[in-house]
Structure formats: C-alpha cells, structure tokens
C-alpha cells in the first residue's frame, strides 16, 4: 500500500463478529528473548499471558498515555531524544538488551541501552542524524523496520529503496552501515525491477544461518539471499510473489504475465516478515492477509501453505471480520502477533497457526473482535480521538521480547510495552 495518509480516512463501520472469543494461556517456563528471527524452536521464551483490551504498562515517545502528536505534540519538525514521529515497523532488541525503534518521519533510528521501565524515557543515541534535534533525510531516508539476529542488524529504508546491514549492532551514535542491498552503493536510488534493486522495502529480517529476507513492497515480492550479503548491490537468490526477477506487478499469478488473481503465490504490497529459519510468515498488506510457509521456501514463486485473515487464497476483503491493511508481524516461536492496522488493533494467536482462517485468541486495542475504531476507549463505535493505555491508532509494528510485547503505533506516535500478566 503506497498511500499512508491513513489518518485522514473516514472510520469504517462495524460488521458482524467473525473472530473467536478470547482466551489466555498461562506463562510457562524458560527464558530468553523473543521476536525477529528466532532460533528454530530451542529455548523459547514463556508464552505471554495477555487479555483483551489490556492496558500497556509503558509508553515511549509521549509524556503519558494521552499524548498523540508527533514529537510529543510540540512541533512536528522539532524532535527530541524522548519523542517519536510515525514509528513504522517492528522495533528490535539486541542480545545485550538494547532497544531500537524506527522513528520514521524523523528519518532516524533511536537506540536505548536498555528497554525503558518508565514513561517518556529518552533515547541514549541516534542513528541517521547528527543529534537528537535534527530531522532531515540523509543516511536514512525513511527507516521502516529494524531487525537483529546473531549480533548483526538490518534496517529497511523505504524511501532509500534499500536495506542497510550493520555487521555489529550499534552501541552509540554515528555508527554507519557496512553493506547496502537494493542499490549499487549508498548514494544510488534505482528502483529497476530485477534481482538487484528494491522499491520501497518496508521490512527486512534474517535467519540465524544468515539468510536475508526482504519485503520488496513496491515490487510486490519478497527477495531472499541465501547468505547475508557482504558486498553492495549483491543480487538476491530467490524471489517469492513473482515468477521471476523481472516481473513486479501486484497479484501476477500467471507466469506468462498479464493475469491478476489472488492466489497462494502472488502478492500485493508485502510488508511485515517473520522467520525462524524453518518457517516464514509474511504480511500481504493490500490483500489484507498473512501468508505462512510451513517450511522455508527454496524455489521461485513457491506458494504459501496457510492464509490468515481470509477464508481462502482467492479472497482479499477488508473488514473487522478479516484483516484490514495489516503491517507488522512477529512470533516468539509459539505465539504470533499481527498489527491489524486499519482495524486499529493487534491480534494474537496463542499457538502458531496451522490452518486457513484460524481465528486469533487475543485482541489488543479493542475490547472485543467486533470493534475497530481508533482511540475508542469507551467502545461506543466512535473515534474519540483521545488516546489511553489500552487503545490503538494504526499500529504498524509488533515485537515479542521475553515476557513483553512491544507495539509501534503510527497514529499516536508512540511505542507501547505490554507486560505478560
């Protein structure tokens, strides 16, 4: 979806409830981090015990839970160390506990040495800007997701048509990426449809064995590198969503070209990604669905095995009964979370989905699965415009970290931290 002016859209009406009633699971043993590309099922963190309409415990980017404006509502063009403006995509936490947030409209990534434990915590360092008060596009044109695995970090830079690779996770400001993919070098802006170039990538992640996976959103495909690139502009090895590297139209299911059809193997603006190296889950944004491969893809145009948010692979409706323009996705290896953005909620499956149209167990941001208005704290079916600890306005990123779930929220310009109960 190229149009991101969601705030000005008229709210949608409600429809009949089509998702399952909520249930909660007790947290169970084990520790370790969650989110991003997991380790294939070993040392999984405990299941989070979350409940419908649960309030968040911590807010990042606002002075309190009622704040909504970009850069804390003071001046859109005046960022600070404790403010955010449209944080797109999933945040990430490193092995040492450092938090990274894509502060998209401030053209930067904020770094915190530790996950904040109090509201409106200030970042410790910034990437993409010389200081906390600058906000001009530069090294980062539009960072939209951060992912960390195995001591390395990648950032999807949407307007830069590139993915930036840091061979070591930054610990201070001024750190520069080591490799760029999607472009021949750091200064290029080519969006040609081929194996080398990207067009508006909104997510990137990689596996513990080094495979890089990129949602090449504007090209309506997912690119996979079988080994983490070490040189600028290294071409991808595998393409999903298209029959080959030279086709980039949405929903092009006919290998001969020209056919537009919703299917298990053709996409329309993919955004979020999650993989543990064995499974792959992808948000197919404009088709209002999530696709899951039960085994990691090994061939071009390989069809997905499972669809969520739609009854079958040929459907692409948007409503409160399905998904509406979802963005971020993450799993801790067992539970799966999806930012159902235009339904202004986060859906959580307490066991990793294994069948088509499997219903979510938990909803955050709404009191039940029948409501879908932004900032509707009293659940009267109206957009109240007032934020709180339990409502959402266009969530666009989710991230499991140990016994917490982090949610990036564009409409309220904040990141919320939900604690397992």
Q: Which residue has the higher pLDDT, 75 or 360?
A: 360
Query: pLDDT tens for residues 150-207?
Result: 999 999 999 999 999 999 999 999 899 999 999 999 999 999 999 999 999 999 999 9
pLDDT band at 347 (very low <50, low <70, confident <90, very high): very high
Nearest to 387 by CA among 401, 397, 376: 376
Domain ranges of the chain: 1-421
- CATH superfamily membership of 1-421: TolB, C-terminal domain (2.120.10.30)
Backbone CA torsion sign across 28, 33, 34, 37: negative
Residue 331 and residue 98: Cα distance in Å, rounded?
19
Measured from the Cβ of residue 184, the count of other Cβ atoms closer than 10 Å reads 12
- Please give the pLDDT value at position 29: 32
Distances, alpha carbon 13 to alpha carbons 5, 32, 352, 380, in Å: 19, 41, 30, 12
Per-residue pLDDT band for 12 (boundaries 50, 70, 90) equals very low
Compare 78 and 342 and report the one with higher pLDDT. 342
pLDDT tens for 96-134 read 999 999 999 999 999 999 999 999 999 999 999 999 999
Q: Report helix, strand or coil for 287.
A: helix
CA–CA separation, 347 vs 2, rounded Å?
A: 23
Query: What would the mean pLDDT of 5-20 be, rounded to a whole number?
Result: 33
Q: Is 153 exposed, middle or buried (0-12, 13-18, 19+ CB in 10 A)?
A: buried
Contact 72, 64 (CB under 8 A): no
Residue 288 makes CB contacts below 8 A (sequence gap 6+) with 309, 310, 316, 317, 318, 322, 323, 324, 325, 326
DSSP 8-state code for residue 387: -
Instruction: Give the CA-trace dihedral at 216, 220, 226, 230, to 10 degrees.
Output: -20
- Indicate the range of 7-11, 60-64, 71-75, 237-241 predicted with least confidence: 7-11
Q: What is the reported pTM?
A: 0.90
HSE-CB at 375 with a 13 A cutoff on CA atoms is: 17
Residues 6+ apart with CB under 8 A from 10: none
Strand pairing category for 108-112 and 99-103: antiparallel
């Amino acid at each position: 979806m190229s149009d991101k002016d969601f705030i000005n859209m008229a709210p949608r009406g409600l429809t009949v409830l089509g998702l399952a009633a909520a249930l909660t699971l007790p947290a169970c043993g084990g520790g370790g981090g969650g989110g991003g590309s997991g380790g294939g099922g070993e040392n999984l963190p405990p299941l989070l015990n979350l409940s419908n309409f649960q309030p968040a415990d911590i807010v990042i980017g606002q002075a309190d839970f009622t704040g909504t404006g970009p850069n804390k509502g003071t001046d859109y063009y005046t960022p600070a160390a404790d403010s955010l403006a449209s944080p797109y995509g999933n945040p990430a936490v490193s092995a040492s506990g450092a938090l990274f947030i894509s502060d998209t409209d401030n053209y930067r990534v904020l770094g915190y040495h530790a996950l904040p434990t109090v509201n409106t915590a200030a970042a410790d360092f910034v990437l993409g800007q010389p200081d906390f008060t600058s906000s001009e596009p530069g090294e980062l044109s539009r960072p939209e997701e951060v992912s960390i695995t195995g001591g390395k970090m990648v950032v999807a830079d949407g307007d830069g048509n590139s993915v930036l690779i840091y061979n070591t996770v930054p610990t201070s400001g001024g750190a520069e990426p080591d490799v760029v993919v999607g472009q021949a070098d750091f200064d290029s802006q080519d969006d040609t449809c081929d194996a080398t170039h990207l067009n508006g990538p909104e997510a990137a992640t990689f596996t513990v064995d080094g495979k890089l996976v990129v949602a090449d959103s504007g090209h309506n495909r997912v690119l996979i590198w079988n080994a983490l690139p070490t040189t600028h502009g290294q071409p991808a090895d595998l393409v999903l969503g298209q029959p080959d590297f030279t086709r980039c139209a949405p929903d092009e299911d006919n290998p001969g070209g020209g056919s537009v059809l919703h299917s298990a193997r053709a996409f329309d603006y993919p955004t979020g990604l999650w993989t543990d190296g064995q499974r792959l889950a992808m948000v197919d944004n404009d088709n209002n669905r999530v696709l899951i491969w039960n085994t990691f893809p090994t061939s071009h145009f390989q069809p997905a095995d499972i669809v969520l948010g739609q009854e079958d692979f040929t459907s692409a409706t948007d409503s409160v009964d399905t998904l509406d323009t979802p963005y971020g996705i993450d799993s801790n290896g067992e539970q799966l979370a999806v930012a159902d953005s235009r339904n202004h909620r986060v859906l959580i499956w307490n066991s990793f989905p294994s069948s088509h149209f499997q219903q979510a167990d938990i909803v955050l941001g709404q009191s039940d699965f029948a409501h879908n208005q932004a900032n509707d704290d009293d659940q009267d079916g109206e957009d109240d415009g007032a934020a709180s600890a339990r409502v959402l306005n266009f969530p666009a990123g989710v991230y499991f970290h140990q016994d917490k779930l982090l949610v990036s929220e564009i409409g309220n310009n904040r990141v919320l931290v939900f604690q397992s109960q």
